[in-house]
Amino acid sequence: MKEDIILDKELSMKDVISENIPEILSYIFNPKEWGIFFKRFLLIFALFISGYIFWLFPVSLAVAPFYSVTTSTLEPIKKESKLEGKSTVLSVRNGMQDLLNKGLVTNFIGVRNWIDNKPNEQIGEIEIYRIAVNTLENNLGRNRGTGGANKHLVQARADIYADYERPYFTSYSTRLKQSINSIDKYLEELEKNKNVEMSKKTAVFIVNSDNLAEVLDKVKQQIQTNLARPITFLTEDDKFYKIRGNLIATYYFLKGIDFDFKDKMIDKSSYTENFIPILESLENAISRNPLIVLEFKGDVSKIEKDANVVSQKLAELRDKLKNG
């Protein structure tokens, strides 16, 4: 009985469709209906473009000052003594999270075009955090016994190396969150592997002088890359803030390294003599935060000089760690 009812319904539906096919086709191919559709589409498109232009000017111009403030305050780094390597990893992870907490501007269309000191400083920080994640994957967090990189660090590197100007679809803010999430998974795995035999570990953190020397060399190279950039009157503040961003992220990264590698550096007689002076030089350079960057006052030259000092001291520490 039920099957008959279902069959009757199917037949009646087919009859309805077949009876209305001419009307459906006439509606689909009706030029008047297509004209109405295109008018509505063009109206929606025009409203979208008008809203976008209105956002670019004047709304984003009014919003930009709220996203342009740069500070000289350096937050303390917490020591994680229960798990070797955790302090270093968290210095990177928390630095990335801090970018999101304070409002990522590198992919904020409109705002980044009006006042670009904060975006350039954030780009400078991202450049160092990229290197930090890269060195976690390939130096500090790679198990040489098994020859493999940790899968979570591989994913973290892929995410943080995405285009930092991307504002939509999978935006850079989302990719940065994904990178942080992968680092958290690596830390969880590192905790679980704490008492596992080295050949069976899926997550490691290797504390040795050669690894640290490689890390410092890569950080130094990035700072030198920004130091080598030529400037004009219109780009002098861009260079200033990118260098400053490099130095801020380097400071946080080294503060984490301090907790995990202090004993290794003491063994190499490089902690008090080389490492501490780098932190002091970084603090001095980061304290430079003029309201307006002007090279005729020497703003760019001063921070370049500071960054050169940091770069030279990183090279000296690197050599000492390698050669003893």
Question: Of 110-119, 124-133, 308-317, which gets the smallest average pLDDT?
Answer: 110-119
pLDDT tens digits, one per residue of 218-240: 999 999 999 999 988 889 999 99
pLDDT tens digits, one per residue of 161-173: 999 998 877 899 9
- pLDDT score of 233: 83
Q: What is the mean pLDDT of residues 234-250?
A: 95
Q: What is the band of 116 on the pLDDT scale with cuts at 50, 70, 90?
A: confident
pLDDT > 90: what percent of the chain?
Answer: 64
- pLDDT score of 15: 62
Q: Produce one character per residue of 161-188: b if its CB has 16 or more CB atoms within 10 Å, e if not.
A: ebebeeeeeebbbebbebbbebbebbbe
Beta carbons of 160 and 130 less than 8 angstroms apart: yes
pTM, to two decimals = 0.86
pLDDT > 70: what percent of the chain?
Answer: 92
Task: Say whether pLDDT at 257 is over 70.
Answer: yes
Q: What is the mean pLDDT of residues 103-120?
A: 88
- pLDDT score of 216: 98
Q: What is the mean pLDDT of residues 85-111?
A: 93
Task: Say whether pLDDT at 69 is over 70.
Answer: yes
Mean of the per-residue pLDDT values of the chain = 89
- pLDDT score of 146: 66
Beta carbons of 85 and 176 less than 8 angstroms apart: no
One DSSP character per residue, 100-135 reads: HHT---TT-TTHHHH--HHHHHHHHHHHHHHHHHHH
Length of the chain as a residue count: 324
Task: Say whether pLDDT at 28 is over 90.
Answer: no
Q: What is the mean pLDDT of residues 287-291?
A: 92
- pLDDT score of 147: 67
One DSSP character per residue, 215-273 reads: HHHHHHHHHHHHHT----TTTHHHHHHHHHHHHHHHHHHHHHHHHHHHHHHHHTT-III
Q: What is the band of 4 on the pLDDT scale with cuts at 50, 70, 90?
A: very low
Q: What is the band of 7 on the pLDDT scale with cuts at 50, 70, 90?
A: very low
Antiparallel, parallel or unpaired: β 142-143 and 148-149: antiparallel
CA atoms within 13 A on the CB side of 44: 6
- pLDDT score of 2: 46
pLDDT tens digits, one per residue of 177-189: 999 999 999 999 9
Q: What is the mean pLDDT of residues 210-215?
A: 96
- pLDDT score of 13: 62
Query: For residue 73, what are the contacts with CB-CB under 8 A and spacing of at least 6?
Result: none
- pLDDT score of 68: 79
Question: Of 91-105, 110-124, 125-139, which gets the smallest average pLDDT?
Answer: 110-124
- pLDDT score of 160: 97
Between residues 231 and 287, the one the model is more confident about: 287
Backbone φ/ψ region at 147: left (φ over 0), alpha (ψ -120 to 50), beta:
left
Q: What is the band of 324 on the pLDDT scale with cuts at 50, 70, 90?
A: low
Between residues 96 and 295, the one the model is more confident about: 96
Q: What is the mean pLDDT of residues 199-214?
A: 92
Q: How far apart, in whole angstroms, are the C-alpha atoms of residue 308 and residue 274?
A: 15
